[in-house]
Amino acid sequence: MSVRTPDPNPGWLSEEDLHEARRRLPMVYVEAVPVRLDALGYLTEIGMLYTADDDGRFYRTFVSGRVLYRETIRGALIRHIEKDLGSLALPQLPPSPVPFTVAEYFPSPSETGLVDDRQHAVSLAYVIPVSGECEPRQDALEVAWLTPEQALGADVGAELLGGRSRLLRQALAHMGWTD
């Protein structure tokens, strides 16, 4: 039995407890694929974060992060978009709460092809038009904007973390774009 002192902030989770919860419970995530649209709503560019892991390996990813206790999905989306793209990105959150897909990340071996070795994450994925200026967060090297053709290139796909090239293709297909 664990004996704990009363917790003044029950939504708070220590690093250790979070680490442990991640081995026991699926985590709720949101994921945002930033896009630039033209006046008719057609896709012109897709935004990706270009970053490096602890081993100095470069990779690409989308905006993503955990939903906190008592946080709404929309609140989590805005918080992670601001963290990753800066406060001048002017994201347009969609009127509907329905994601374009639900991405299921598992520690490998993953039966979905999406991998996150820290945890089992159920990620609600949204396409988010942004019309402002994006500046990368501290630990990201760059916010890169790619045309759909560039984004579908084999080199980009290989750099996308955790099988997110699948997510990219689903986002593009959702927008009516396929190669």
Contacts with a copy of itself by CB under 8 A lie at: 1-2, 10-13, 16-17, 21, 23-28, 35, 37, 39-43, 67-75, 78, 92-102, 104, 106-107, 111-112, 120, 122, 124, 127, 129, 165-166, 169-170, 172-176, 178-179
In the complex, minimum distance from the CB of residue 75 to a copy of itself, in angstroms, rounded to a whole number: 7
In the complex, minimum distance from the CB of residue 100 to a copy of itself, in angstroms, rounded to a whole number: 7
In the complex, minimum distance from the CB of residue 63 to a copy of itself, in angstroms, rounded to a whole number: 15
Residue closer to a copy of itself by CB (options 129, 136) is: 129
Residue closer to a copy of itself by CB (options 31, 140) is: 31
60 Cβ contact partners less than 8 Å away, ≥ 6 residues apart = 48, 49, 50, 51, 144, 156, 159, 160, 161, 164
Residue closer to a copy of itself by CB (options 16, 54) is: 16
DSSP-derived secondary structure for 103-153: EEEBSSSPSSS-B-TT--EEEEEEEEEB-S-----TTEEEEEEE-HHHHTS
Residue for token pair 């560039």: 150
**Backbone phi, psi, residue 86, to 5°:** 90, 175
The answer to whether residues 30 and 97 touch, using CB atoms and an 8 Å cutoff, is no
Residue closer to a copy of itself by CB (options 140, 152) is: 152
In the complex, minimum distance from the CB of residue 89 to a copy of itself, in angstroms, rounded to a whole number: 12
| Alpha-carbon span 59 to 48, nearest angstrom | 10
